[in-house]
Amino acid sequence: MTEDIIVKTSARLMTPFIQMFGLYVIFHGHLTPGGGFQGGAIIGASMILLAVVYGLEEGEKRLGHDASTVLESSTLFYALIGLIGIAAGYSFLANRVAGIPVGTPGALFSGGAIFAINIVVGLKVASTGKTLFYALSREERP
Amino acid sequence: MSINRHFPVLIVVAPLLASYLAPMLWRWQRRLVKPIVLSAAALSFSMSLSTALQVLRSGPVSYHVGSWEPPWGIELYVDYLSAYMAVVVTAVGLLILIYATEYAEKLVDEKNRGLFFTLALLLIAGLTGMVVTGDVFNLFVFLEIASLASYALVPIAGKKGSKGRFEASFRYLYMGAIASTFILIGIGLAYMATGTLNMADMARLLPEARQEYPRLIVASLGFFIVGFSIKCALFPLHLWLPDAYAHAPMPVNALSSGLTIKVMAYAMIRLFYSVFGIGFVSGTGLLSALQVIAGTAIIVGSLLAITQNDVIRILAYSSVSQIGYIILGATLVTKDGLAGSLLHILHHSVMKGAMLLAVGAVIYKTGKRDIRDYRGLGKRMPYTMGAFSIAALSMVGIPPLTGFVSKWILLLGTVEAKSYAFTFVILASSLLNAVYYFRLINYIHFKGETAGEVDEAPPAMLIPIIILGLGAIFLGVLAGLPLTIIWKAVASAGL
Amino acid sequence: MIHEALSQYNYIVSSTLFLIGLYTMITRRNLLKKIIGLNIMDTSVFLFFISMGSVEGGRAPIVIPGAEDVVYVNPLPQALILTAIVVAVSVTAFALALTIRLYEDYGTLDADRIRELRERGT
C-alpha cells in the first residue's frame, strides 16, 4: 500500500462526518426520506472507505469479525420487537395499538417500533456491508 | 386471547429467529446449535399442524401483520391449500434437518457447518412464508429469501464438495435471478392494473381491470408463468436443476426437490386459482400451452433419466419429470386433476425425499454415486436400501404404494378433462419410470457384490429415511387423510 | 398514436433497458458481464416501478402538517423497490463471491472455458 497523505488525511477527516450523516439518516428514518437501510449503507460505506485507504487489517481493528457477527444477528431484535405486539395481545409487529409509545408526530423520538426497527436495520446493513466487502476482498486460497 | 391465533406468523418466525441465532451460537456455543435448529423446525411443524386442524375445523384463518387491516396491511391467509402445504413443508423439512445434523458432521466443511443450518432454516422460513402469505409482494420477498438460501446451499459442502460446485451454483443463481426479475415485473403489471397487492383484493379487482387493460393482465400472467416455470424447473427451463443436484450435499437436494420446487409450483397454482381466476387463465390459451409443456416435461424428464448412470442425476431428471405431473394436474382445470396434483406434491416429497436421503447415506458411507457401484448394497444396508427400493417402486406407481394413488387421481383428472393424450402420457411415463427405477433396484439387490464392506448409516440418518420409506408405503393407503383437506382446497378453488 | 406512445416514454426506456440486460446476460460469456447484465435488468424493473408510482409535480410522501392541497407521489412502489434493491444487492454480492471463487479455481472468467476445463478435469 502506497503512502498517500492526501487520500489518508481526507479519508480520516471525512469518516466521522460520513458516519454522523449515516446516523442522522437512520435516526430520522421515520421523518425524512431514508431509514435503516440507507443510513446503514452509508455507515457501511465509511467502513469500506477506511479499509480501502488504510488496508484491511486496520479496518479489522475498528470493527472485528466477532463484533460484526453479533451485529449481523441484530435482526434478531427485529423479530423480538415484532413479538412485543404478540405479547401485548395484538398482532406480530403491532406498533401503536400494542401500546408502544409513539410520541408526537414529527418529533425525533416518535414512531414507536419503527424508530427501533430502523436502528436495528441500520446496524445490520452497516455490518453486512462491511462483511461483504471483506468476504469479497480477502484473498483466501483454497 | 390464545397464542393459537398467532400461529400463522409464528410458523415463519420460529425458523427465522433460530437462523439468526445459529451463526452467533456457532461461534461461541457450538453444541447449542443443533438443538435450537431442530427445536425451531419441530415448533414450526407442530404449529402448522395445529393451524391445519384449526382450518379444517373452522375454515380459513386470516392474520393481520401489525394489526393493519388488509388490503393496507400485509395479510397472512391460511386456507385449506396453504395449511396443507405448510404441514408438508415443515414436516419434510424437519425430517431432512434431523438427517442433516449427522450428514453435515462428515460431509460439510467445519467452517461452513454453522452457515449450513442458518441457510437451511432460512430456506424453510422462506418457503413457509410463501405458503402462508396472502400478499403478492410478500410472496416475492419470501421467494427471494428461499431462493438466495438455496443458491448458497449448493456449494456449501466446501472443500469436501465436488469441483464444479461453484459453477453449478452460479448457473442456478443466473437462471433464478432472471426468474425473479420476471416475477417482479409480473407483480408490477398486476399492481398497475389493480392498485393493490393483497391477493384477495387483487382477485376482486382484476375482472374490472380486465375490461380496461386486457393485454396488460395477460402480460402479467405470462411473466408470472415464465418466472415460476424457471423456479420450479419445468422443462425446458430445468437446466439448472441437474447440475445443482449433482454438486450440492444430499440434504440440500432433498430440501430442493422435496420442498422448493413444490412450493414454486404451489405459488403458480395459487396465482392461477386464487388471484387471476382459473376461468380467465384458461381463456388466454396460456394454460393449454402449459399443459403441453408439462406433458413434454413428463416424457423428456423420464427419457433423460434413463440415459444417466449417476444416481443423483437419475433422481434429478426424475424430479423434472415429476414436476411435470404436478403442473399438468394443476392446468387440467378438473377437480381430480387439481386434487391429484396437490396430493402428488406430498407423495413426491416423501418418495423423492426417501430416495435422495438414502443415496445420501450411501455417499456418507462410501462416497459412491455411480449405479454400477451399488451392486449388493441391498444386503449391506438393508434398511436404507429397503426404503430406497420401496420409494422407487412407489414412484413407478405399483399399487397400493403411495405413488400409485396420486397418479391414479391424476389419470382420472385427465379422463375427466377428456384430454386422452395426457392419459396416455401418464401411462407411458409410468413405463419409462419403471425402466430406470427397476434398473436401480436390479443393481442394488440382484447383481452380485461390488459394494465392499459397508454397514448401516447412523441412527440420526436412518430414522428419517425409514419414516419417509414407511410414508411411501402407508400414505397411499392413508391417502384419505390428506385428501380431506385437499378436497376442501379444491372446492374452495372454485372447481 | 405516436404521441401517446411517447408520453409513456418511461415504459419504453425501462423495457429497452430490460431487454439490453437480458441480452447481455444471455449472450456474454464473461461472468462479470453477465452480472452487469443482471444489474441492468434489475435496474430497469426498479425504474419501471418508480416511474409507475410517480405523479407529475408530486412531493416526497411525507405528510406536511397543515398543508392541504399537496400532491404526493405513491410511496408504495418506492417501498417495494427498496426491498427489491436489497434483494438485488444480495444476489449481486453472492454472484460476485462465486465469480471470485470460480476465478481462483479456473483462472478465467469465460463461462464456456470454465465448462471446458471442468469437463476435461473430471
Residue with cell 406434491: B345
What residues of chain C lie within 8 A of the CB of A105, using their CB? 63, 65
* Mean pLDDT of all residues in C97-106: 84
Q: Do residues C84 and C49 make contact, with C-beta atoms less than 8 angstroms apart?
A: yes
* Mean pLDDT of all residues in B335-360: 88
Structural domain boundaries, residue B345: 299-495
| pLDDT beyond 80 at B83 | yes
> Considering the domain boundaries, does residue B201 fall inside one?
no
User: CA of A1, closest CA in chain B: separation in Å?
Assistant: 30
pLDDT at position C39: 93
pLDDT at position B124: 92
Q: What is the crossing angle of helices B420-446 and B311-331, to 10°?
A: 160
pLDDT at position B8: 84
Given CATH 2.60.450.10, say whether it is the number of domain C2-56+71-121: no
Give the chains touching A; criterion: ≥3 Cβ pairs < 8 Å.
Answer: B, C
* Mean pLDDT of all residues in A34-62: 84
pLDDT at position B433: 87
What residues of chain B lie within 8 A of the CB of A83, using their CB? 13
Contact A79 B17 (CB under 8 A): yes
**CA atoms of A116 and B185, how far apart (whole Å):** 32
Contact C96 A37 (CB under 8 A): no
**CA atoms of B323 and B268, how far apart (whole Å):** 12
Q: Do residues A62 and A134 make contact, with C-beta atoms less than 8 angstroms apart?
A: no
Closest CA to C33 of C119, C117, C118, C96: C96
Determine how β-strand B75-78 pairs with β-strand B61-64.
Answer: antiparallel
Q: Do residues A39 and A115 make contact, with C-beta atoms less than 8 angstroms apart?
A: no
Percent of chain B at pLDDT above 70?
98
> Which chain A residue is nearest to residue C100, measuring alpha carbons?
A136
pLDDT at position B478: 81
B13 close to A (CB below 8 A): yes
Residue with cell 392474520: B63
**CA atoms of B275 and B197, how far apart (whole Å):** 10
Closest CA to B181 of C18, A106, C96, A6: C18
Peptide bond between residue B400 and the one before it cis (omega within 30 degrees of 0): yes
**CA atoms of B110 and B10, how far apart (whole Å):** 30
Mutate to test the interface with A, among C89, C94, C102 (most CBs of A within 10 A): C89
> Considering the domain boundaries, does residue B470 fall inside one?
yes
Reported as a single tens digit per residue, the pLDDT across B218-257 is 889 999 999 999 988 888 888 888 888 888 888 888 888 8
> Considering the domain boundaries, does residue B457 fall inside one?
yes
| pLDDT beyond 60 at B87 | yes
Confidence of residue B458 (pLDDT cuts 50, 70, 90): confident
Q: Which of B115-119, B357-361, B392-396, B451-455 has the lowest mean pLDDT?
A: B451-455
> Considering the domain boundaries, does residue B74 fall inside one?
no
Sequence ranges of the domains in chain C: 2-56+71-121
Q: Where are the alpha helices (DSSP H) in A1-142?
A: 5-27, 36-54, 56-62, 65-72, 75-87, 113-137
**C-alpha grid cell for residue B392?**
422407487
Percent of chain B at pLDDT above 90?
10
| pLDDT beyond 60 at A141 | no
Amino acid at C26: I
Which one is predicted more confidently, C91 or A84?
A: C91
* Mean pLDDT of all residues in C37-44: 92
**C-alpha grid cell for residue B308?**
444417466
Contact A132 C86 (CB under 8 A): no
Find all residues with CB under 8 Å of B253, minimum gap 6, and list them: B245, B312, B315, B316, B356, B360
> Considering the domain boundaries, does residue B376 fall inside one?
yes
**CA atoms of B246 and C119, how far apart (whole Å):** 14
| pLDDT beyond 70 at C121 | no
Average pLDDT in chain B = 85
| pLDDT beyond 70 at C28 | yes
* Mean pLDDT of all residues in A97-116: 75
Average pLDDT in chain C = 84
| pLDDT beyond 90 at A18 | yes
What residues of chain C lie within 8 A of the CB of B192, using their CB? 52
**CA atoms of B31 and B180, how far apart (whole Å):** 37
Contact C62 A136 (CB under 8 A): no
Residue B72 CB burial class (10 angstroms; 0-12, 13-18, ≥19):
middle
* Mean pLDDT of all residues in B461-489: 84
Which one is predicted more confidently, A1 or B93?
A: B93
A101 close to C (CB below 8 A): no
Confidence of residue A2 (pLDDT cuts 50, 70, 90): low
Give the number of other CB atoms < 10 A from CB of residue A5: 7
> Considering the domain boundaries, does residue B419 fall inside one?
yes
pLDDT at position A76: 82
User: CA of A120, closest CA in chain B: separation in Å?
Assistant: 13
pLDDT at position B253: 87
What residues of chain B lie within 8 A of the CB of A92, using their CB? 6, 9-10, 13, 63, 65-66
**CA atoms of A41 and B374, how far apart (whole Å):** 53
Reported as a single tens digit per residue, the pLDDT across B279-307 is 888 888 888 888 889 989 999 988 888 88
Contact B137 C114 (CB under 8 A): no
pLDDT at position A142: 39
**Phi and psi for B62 in degrees, rounded to 5?**
-115, 140
* Mean pLDDT of all residues in B320-344: 88
